[in-house]
Structure 1
């Protein structure tokens, strides 16, 4: 039997007219997330005492909204990340008026799921950027040839980029097949590193059928990529966990938010922004979490973005602290504001705005590098 201290705890934000109503609904959640049978037929003994979620107390967050904790036995999750997420918010995610706002993994789950392999310190070491914000241009657009994308990558490294990220829309398309593109872009980054004495990393976007994902990730490693980009909203969190745990893979992982919007956009259901793009990514083993930046085209607020960054870097969070990577609305003009907002441990994602520079894209990257460094220096002397 798992001791109380070994259980993991999920905090749910429940819409209810009163604390007693919130508690009734929480007891329904505790059953739904574990045995999925009516309470009056739950077998006595181990199942009733250990497997069924144990409801804590209801705390009013605001009128009509209550935060309630439910603890679960690690035995209900086993050793599978998929089942852990299923226990946290499986069937209840289909119901209205329930939102996950926190999780305490407890010692057993924390040991089973180590979190990021590299984290902030490891990515910095691999990229050769011991301090200050990291600059990450995105190579695009879809429809470009592999040679065109490789040329963009080379110019960005020449301009001072730390990470060259595949656009998440680059898959295995006839214009730029996965293997050809990965080999050419990784080779271009390697040539630029050799010429300019840098350590920029290429993160290859990994897509495909479930049986192809690990094979393609290892292909990228063999081709010379310094990391991979994964979309857990489409591929599932398990592939992130599998690669992060594999000592033979040994590359940093960046996760992209595609397909996850419905999990966070409702104020009453799903997950908080910090949970989805901070806590869950760390739990799965991501080292860098991409999310839409305030002022971009997606409408995340400054408060939501800061909550994500804090969850990514929280020293008391799950596993090693990871790097937040805001994307959208990035420019030289906004660099100072972004540095003041996010600080040093951040990956600045530069997308379509860079392409306006054309053949001078490397100079645009250099300008962003200088703007970020100048803003950091100014902040330190203020």
Structure 2
């Protein structure tokens, strides 16, 4: 039987680690005591303990195998299977995930991912530079001027800040239209394209009208706050319009940052987003204003997003959290060419030097 293999870290467990592992396997798969599960169902669907390994004093790795059928071929159900009820267990952290080929084949993965983003921007082999349009309250012309300067300087990717939200569609169209026109103007002047991703938010017809406007404007994708909207909702919203989507990590820190509970960044912001179809995943790495408290998260998350994973395209890893232009080059050296570095406030603070400083940074990225 093919199994989804999940690894949980148990810290100072309140019961015997082997017993705890059995309880997790049962709770997450069929949510019944063993005596109440018919044998035929247990044989087909019951989670099973694969390994219990001591890691350190009062810490164990518990490997659980879940029958593939339990994921139902859905990213949301996969997340529920891995960490639904067990999220209430004390000091249990999901740290590892291995998906069988048969399940990976059922997921769409990124519609464009890293290959199409490289094609769109015309950047074949270096780390990409991204900036963010903000703050909320700025006139559309101010945001458009920022986009124009960045794109003229040779920047690769522009995203709306997740706080850029309008409750009226005309205001959304005005802002996005102005920024899109600025990026197009830069493309006409420089001969190279910058990918602009507007933030869409809300629900129902309001969300749908924003998505339709982005698609009809010929833009390549959108920014979605995945963990606010819901994993399946975000994925379907973009996929139905054949738009690429950037997953913003707002709210995800509640999962990734606790020491003994939650879900490792490489799993939540890496593998799960990739199978759901995110084309870009932003996550806090090292050195910025917002950073991960787990030392290996940046490299592990990049690997989960861009390394081999069945036949799925690579998702572009984007490390952010308040990095500077100077840190962009160091990050590219550390993580290699298959990543993007998000620089926001540091770029905005440069005012009339934005274009020149972006051009110098892009040249340095090319050199390294």
TM range (shorter): over 0.9
- Return closer, same or farther for 1:24/1:101 CA change in 2, 3 Å cut-off: same
* Structure 2 residue 175 is matched with structure 1 residue 181: yes
Q: How does 1:166-245 map to 2 (within 5 A)?
A: 166-172=160-166, 177-243=171-237, 245=239
2:276 is matched with 284
> Which residue of 326, 333, 345 maps to 1:340?
333
Q: How high is the TM-score relative to the length of structure 1?
A: 0.89
Deviations 1:128-176 (A, max 9, x none): 1112111111111111122221121112111111111111111115799
C-alpha deviation, 1:17, in angstroms: 5.9
Contact 1:133–1:344 under 8 Å retained in 2: yes
Q: Identify the match of residue 22 of structure 1 among 9, 14, 17.
A: 17
2: CA distance, partners of 1:128 / 1:271? 35
Gaps of 5+ in 2: none
Between 107-116 and 252-261, the greater mean CA deviation after superposition: 107-116
Work out the number of aligned pairs and report it.
Answer: 367
3-state secondary structure, aligned to 2:258: coil
The residue correspondences of 1:5-44 to structure 2 (distance < 5 A) are 5=2, 7-16=3-12, 21-44=16-39
Match of 2:69 among 69, 75, 89: 75
Q: Give me the whole-angstrom Cα distance separating, in 1, the residues matched to 2:7 and 2:234.
A: 24
**Separation of aligned partners in 2, 1:332 and 1:261:** 24
* Structure 2 CA distance for aligned equivalents of residues 257 and 80 of structure 1: 20
Q: Is the Cα contact below 8 Å between 1:23 and 1:58 reproduced in 2?
A: yes
Q: 8 Å contact 2:290–2:322 — kept in the other structure?
A: no
Bigger Cα displacement from structure 2, 313-322 vs 292-301? 313-322
Question: Contact (CA 8 Å) 1:135, 1:162: kept in 2 or not?
Answer: yes
In 2: Cα distance, 1:359 partner to 1:218 partner: 34
What secondary structure is seen at the aligned counterpart in 1 of 2:283? strand
Q: 1:224 to 1:152 in 2, by over 3 A?
A: farther
Matched residue, 2:365: 372
CA-to-partner distance for each residue in 1:19-58, whole Å, 9 max, x for gaps? x92121111112211222222211221x211122122121
Give, in whole Å, the separation in 1 of the partners of 2:361 and 2:321. Answer: 14
State TM-score, norm by structure 2. Answer: 0.92
Aligned counterparts of 1:102 and 1:232: Cα–Cα separation in 2: 21
Alpha-carbon distance in structure 1 between the residues aligned to 2:98 and 2:325:
39
Q: 1:326 aligns with which of 316, 319, 323?
A: 319
CA distance in 2, matches of 1:372, 1:239: 35
Q: Could you list the runs of 4 or more consecutive aligned residues of structure 1 that deviate by over 4 angstroms after TM superposition?
A: 173-176
Equivalent pair of 1:15/1:22 in contact (CA under 8 Å): no
2: distance between equivalents of 1:102 and 1:237? 19
Aligned: 1:360 with 2:362: no
Quick check: 1:268 aligned with 2:260? yes
Distance 1:131 1:93, change over 3 A: same
How far, CA to CA, are the matches of 1:244 and 1:207 in structure 2?
Answer: 12
Shift of 1:229: 0.9
Contact (CA 8 Å) 1:187, 1:224: kept in 2 or not? Answer: no
* Contact 1:74 1:109 (8 Å CA) reproduced: yes
Instruction: Show the 5 A alignment for 1:9-158.
Output: 9-16=5-12, 21-45=16-40, 47-158=41-152
- Is residue 33–residue 91 contact of structure 1 (8 Å, CA) maintained in 2? yes
Q: Do 2:322 and 2:345's aligned partners in 1 also have CA atoms closer than 8 Å? A: no
In structure 2, the CA distance between the partners of 1:338 and 1:79, relative to structure 1 (3 Å rule), is closer
Residues 209 and 245 of structure 1: CA distance in aligned 2, closer, same or farther (over 3 Å): closer
CA contact (8 A) 2:101 2:310 kept: no
Secondary structure of the structure 1 residue equivalent to 2:16: helix
The 2-side partners of 1:317 and 1:299 are apart by 30
Is the CA contact (8 Å cut-off) linking 1:240 and 1:285 kept in structure 2?
no
Across the aligned residues of Structure 1 and Structure 2, the Cα RMSD in angstroms comes to 2.3
The residue that corresponds to 1:379 in the other structure is none
Distance in 1 between residues matched to 2:195 and 2:332, nearest whole Å: 22
